Chains A and B, each alone.
Chain A
């Protein structure tokens, strides 16, 4: 690893980009649907490096190459149909997420009369029953990582009842990476971003998290990846606005 970069030179936001990008490693020729800025930078990084066959959209109705060349048409109706083919990996946001990966973006409080109305279920139910669905949480806290979500939009492992195409590959937050590689598919700490402690993660999580004896660090970007992030994909450093250092 002659290209290895010293951890201190890499910002937290850049670790988050790498952690999101890794969701699409070896994904093959499928649509990457990143929602939110850091997942978008991550998907573009994956496309430029270790997942060259990914399809990406312009955020609207077009499939576009890295230079913006239009290579296909994907209006909303075709996008919704593509979800059911399973050839897509979406990374959604989560206003709440629980121990088994149930996700909420609909409302806070009782659904009948919410304390705070949010977006609505959007496409979370169709996504989670049809194609791999990962999550991105820019501010890891007990308000997001809750014991029980108020409205199940994205379906978690305890409610999927072995649904044929249900899979939650990873949850990425500003503190670390999480997966469900436990016997009961409850959430597990998969890696910590450098500078974050297990205690910090536990304090910011309202449910009991599985923590292995040895928790690896989220991998550092290579010098090449760092150049791509800083000079090509996000030269305006918008990522720093989503995750501070």
Chain B
């Protein structure tokens, strides 16, 4: 079986401008930030980003890489409003497909099921229908005759996710309380890249954790990247919590200054710069 381990740079070399890119995690939780930082070091741009948005969206928006965003929210959790996303929206920097959290989930599910849409009540009556004029409704063929929103599949060219452990084959494991939607991102994507805190032997995965923690299956994973602290500054329970002090620094520092200070070099340089801060 093939060894899928690669570097973050190799992942980025497989991505292209104009792609639709799904990013796992949720808000400021278990985001594949090392992969996002690698993306920021590249010249890839014009992306359609699909994300339960956090600082991944904020950073890509601040550096002008997003052509279109698909999201239900963008937040830093402990800081409710993502300042760089906000600024980008207020200057009209990109197109937005704003949908409800459950609609977003249905879109991922539809894509993973290879369906064109899934019906749901969410969205009806709300301005989600107004700001997404392409959204259609569908009527039940049964006696009830009820009308639903037909949430279109959110198909992805590539997915980026971060988990606690993975083996070299692409079996990925989360050890915190919430899987978020990382398996669905991988299933909805043509290619999925998983960064992890630690690459371990397959047999190690279930030594201390139950098989239910094996969230990602290798047939849905294209590449595995070992990136210790790779979700920093978002949380990656139980390996580490959110770096609140650093997140605050991110949120209050003008973007060009933050970029110059922390994103000028590679991941090692990032870690060193963060280390100097604390």
Q: Tell me, yes or no, whether A binds B.
A: yes
Query: A residues touching B (Cβ–Cβ < 8 Å)?
Result: 60-62, 73, 75-77, 80, 83-84, 106-107, 111-126, 128-130, 151-156, 159-161, 163-166
Distance (whole angstroms) from the CB of B28 to the closest CB of chain A: 13
Distance (whole angstroms) from the CB of B93 to the closest CB of chain A: 10
Distance (whole angstroms) from the CB of A116 to the closest CB of chain B: 7
Q: Does B122 contact A (CB under 8 A)?
A: yes
Q: Does B75 contact A (CB under 8 A)?
A: yes
Is the Cβ of B180 less than 8 Å from the Cβ of A152? no
Q: Is the interface of B mostly helix, strand, loop or mixed?
A: loop
Is the Cβ of B90 less than 8 Å from the Cβ of A114? yes
Measured in the bound complex, the distance between the Cα atoms of B43 and A26 in whole Å is 58
Is the Cβ of B179 less than 8 Å from the Cβ of A77? yes
Binds A, one of B66-74, B254-262, B264-272: B66-74
Measured in the bound complex, the distance between the Cα atoms of B80 and A107 in whole Å is 13
Chain B residues in 8 Å Cβ range of A153 = 126-127
Is the Cβ of A163 less than 8 Å from the Cβ of B178? no
| In the complex, per-residue mask of B65-98: 1 if CB is within 8 Å of any chain A CB, else 0 | 0000001111100001100011001111000001
Is the Cβ of A117 less than 8 Å from the Cβ of B86? yes
The residue from B71, B90, B121 contacting A115, defined by CB atoms under 8 A apart: B90
Chain B residues in 8 Å Cβ range of A116 = 86, 90
Chain B residues in 8 Å Cβ range of A123 = 72, 100-102
Nearest residue (CB) in B for A120 is B73
Would you list 11 pairs from A and B whose C-beta atoms are within 8 A, ordered by A residue? A61-B178, A75-B177, A76-B180, A77-B105, A77-B179, A77-B181, A121-B72, A123-B102, A129-B124, A152-B130, A155-B125
Question: 19 additional contacts, CB 8 Å, given A120-B72, A125-B100?
Answer: A75-B179, A76-B178, A76-B180, A84-B121, A106-B98, A112-B92, A119-B73, A120-B73, A120-B75, A121-B99, A125-B122, A126-B101, A126-B120, A126-B121, A128-B125, A129-B124, A151-B127, A161-B125, A163-B124
